[in-house]
């Protein structure tokens, strides 16, 4: 097992009266070798706190975790992890290339290999033409790209990315998605946090859904989503009356071509039989099942204390 947490918890004490905030509560999950694992949750759910514990940047208040079978924090396993923090910070007077070379040196990339490796990574993240510009002149998206290059500089076996698509435009997001898939193809394991659900659907082998500090679900997306058909949409070219469509809602109407939605699958099937029997032409039939977004909103709604101001953790004292 590449990564395993058992009852991992973090309670912060804030303010003068040391008010306790449970940011992460009893999170147990496993990440398997070679998979892309999405750690999904709304703002303030506890994603960054969990990742910081995995990286040994803050200590858990309870529970344990191991990476490459070594309990955290372990310097030996850290050498095999590439990490993109939520808010990467750089020496802004350095150029992108200089910063990456510095990270390569800190990550003990052999010196003769470093220049080539850095150039390849700058190319990979689309920063070649800006490589000799100072980082303070980088846009947010460029800084994020540099962060991703930095995470990969030591050719890690496990890549932990905290919101890798943050600040990227649609093209940049697509590039990072492709890059993550490329990492998987190269045999790496990727653990990344996000609240961008289409990215999760496009990328992840498995997901962990965290809400208000608690892990609500873990599994393959197909296992988590309800297989029930939520609605059926029919588009027909009517020949004669529209009485067979009476149990549906008209969504669009363009001359004889009508699109109707049914909440009940059986009603839709009956309508199709009636329509075809009366000579109408069926243009399309789409069965809508639960999407990840539907699932996410359903689970959020089920959480009795869903979304206080920022989503966040529970104050206990
Ligand atoms: N150092 C800290 N001291 C006190 N509370 C903290 C600290 N760090 C995080 N928290 C609280 O812990 C909760 C979880 O925060 P965290 O940053 O882990 O959420 P997140 O899931 O990464 O959210 P986002 O999607 O906005 O990045 C929040 O309520 C946050 O206010
Ligand atoms: Mg975060």
Q: pLDDT tens digits, residue range 151-194?
A: 999 999 999 999 999 888 898 898 889 889 989 998 999 999 99
| C-alpha span between 79 and 106 (Å, rounded) | 10
pTM (predicted TM-score): 0.86
The two three-digit tokens of residue 245, written as one number: 């469509």
Residue with tokens 């372990």: 74
**Tell me, what's the pLDDT at 314?**
54
Give 294-316 as a 3 state SS string.
Answer: HHHHHHHHHCCCCCCCCCCCEEC
**Tell me, what's the pLDDT at 315?**
54
Give 19-34 as a 3 state SS string.
Answer: EEEEEEEEEEEEECCC
Q: Return phi, psi of residue 73, to 5°.
A: -85, 140
The CA-based angle 89-95-99, given to 5 degrees, is: 55
Residue with tokens 């909103």: 297
Ligand number nearest CA of 20 is: 1
Q: Is residue 95's pLDDT more than 50?
A: yes
Residue 302: pLDDT band with limits 50, 70, 90: confident
Give, using CA atoms, the residue closest to atom 2 of ligand 1. Answer: 12
**Tell me, what's the pLDDT at 242?**
77
Q: Which domains does the chain have, with CATH numbers?
A: 3-223 (3.40.50.300), 229-289 (3.30.70.1150)
pLDDT tens digit sequence for 194-222: 988 889 988 999 999 999 999 999 999 98
Q: How far is the CA of 88 from the centre of ligand 2 (A)?
A: 12
Give, using CA atoms, the residue closest to atom 12 of ligand 1. Answer: 23
Q: How far is the CA of 32 from the centre of ligand 1 (A)?
A: 26
DSSP 106: H
Mean of the per-residue pLDDT values for the chain?
90
Whole-angstrom CA distances from 224 to 3, 31, 50, 197, 293 are: 21, 17, 22, 14, 12
Ligand number nearest CA of 10 is: 1
Residues 218 and 189: beta-carbon distance below 8 Å: no
Residue with tokens 């990492």: 183
Instruction: Give the nearest ligand 1 atom to 210 CA.
Output: 21
Q: Is residue 253's pLDDT more than 70?
A: yes
**160 - beta bridge partners?**
83, 191
DSSP 14: E
Q: How far is the CA of 44 from the centre of ligand 1 (A)?
A: 5
Task: For ligand 1, pick from 43, 46, 52, 215 the residue to mutate: most ligand atoms within 8 Å of CB.
Answer: 46
The two three-digit tokens of residue 123, written as one number: 């190319």
Rounded to 10 degrees, what is the CA torsion of 164, 169, 170, 171?
-90
Q: How far is the CA of 187 from the centre of ligand 1 (A)?
A: 31
Pocket-forming residues, ligand 1, beta carbon under 6 Å: 12, 14, 21, 23, 41, 43-49, 86, 195, 312-313
DSSP 92: T
Ligand number nearest CA of 312 is: 1
**Tell me, what's the pLDDT at 122?**
95
The two three-digit tokens of residue 144, written as one number: 């994020």
pLDDT tens digit sequence for 26-63: 999 999 999 999 999 999 999 999 999 999 999 999 99
Ligand number nearest CA of 86 is: 2
**Tell me, what's the pLDDT at 316?**
52
Q: How far is the CA of 9 from the centre of ligand 1 (A)?
A: 13
Instruction: Give the residue-averaged pLDDT of 306-314.
Output: 47
| C-alpha span between 265 and 250 (Å, rounded) | 16
Q: How far is the CA of 231 from the centre of ligand 1 (A)?
A: 37
Instruction: Give the residue-averaged pLDDT of 74-88.
Output: 91
**191 - beta bridge partners?**
37, 160
Residues 217 and 51: beta-carbon distance below 8 Å: no
């Amino acid at each position: 097992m590449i990564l395993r947490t058992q009852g991992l918890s973090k309670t912060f004490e804030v303010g003068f009266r040391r008010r306790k905030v449970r940011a992460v509560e009893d999170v147990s999950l496993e990440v398997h070798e070679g998979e892309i694992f999405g750690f999904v949750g709304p703002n303030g759910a506890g994603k960054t706190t969990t990742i910081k514990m995995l990286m040994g940047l803050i200590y858990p208040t309870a529970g344990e975790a191991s990476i490459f079978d070594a309990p955290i924090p372990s310097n030996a396993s850290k050498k095999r992890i590439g990490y993109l923090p939520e808010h990467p910070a750089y020496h802004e007077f350095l150029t992108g290339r200089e910063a990456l070379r510095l990270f390569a040196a800190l990550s003990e990339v052999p010196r003769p290999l470093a220049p080539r490796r850095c150039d390849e990574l700058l190319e990979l993240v689309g920063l070649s033409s800006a490589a000799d510009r100072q980082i303070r002149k980088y846009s947010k998206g460029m800084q994020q790209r540099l962060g991703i290059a930095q995470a990969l500089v030591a050719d890690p076996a496990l890549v932990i990315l905290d919101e890798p698509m943050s600040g990227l435009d649609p093209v940049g997001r697509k590039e990072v998605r492709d890059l993550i898939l490329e990492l998987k193809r190269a045999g790496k394991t990727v653990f990344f946090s996000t609240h961008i659900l289409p990215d999760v659907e496009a990328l992840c082998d498995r997901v962990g859904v965290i809400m208000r500090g608690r892990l609500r679900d873990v599994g393959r997306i197909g296992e988590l989503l309800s297989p029930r058909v939520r609605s059926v949409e029919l588009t027909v070219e009517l020949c004669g009356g529209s009485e067979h469509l009476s149990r549906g809602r008209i969504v669009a109407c363009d001359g004889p071509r009508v699109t109707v939605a049914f909440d009940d699958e059986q009603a839709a099937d009956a309508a199709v039989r009636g329509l075809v029997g009366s000579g109408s032409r069926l243009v399309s039939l789409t069965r809508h099942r639960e999407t990840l977004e539907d699932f996410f909103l359903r689970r959020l709604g089920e959480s009795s204390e869903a979304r206080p101001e920022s989503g966040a953790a529970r104050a206990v004292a």
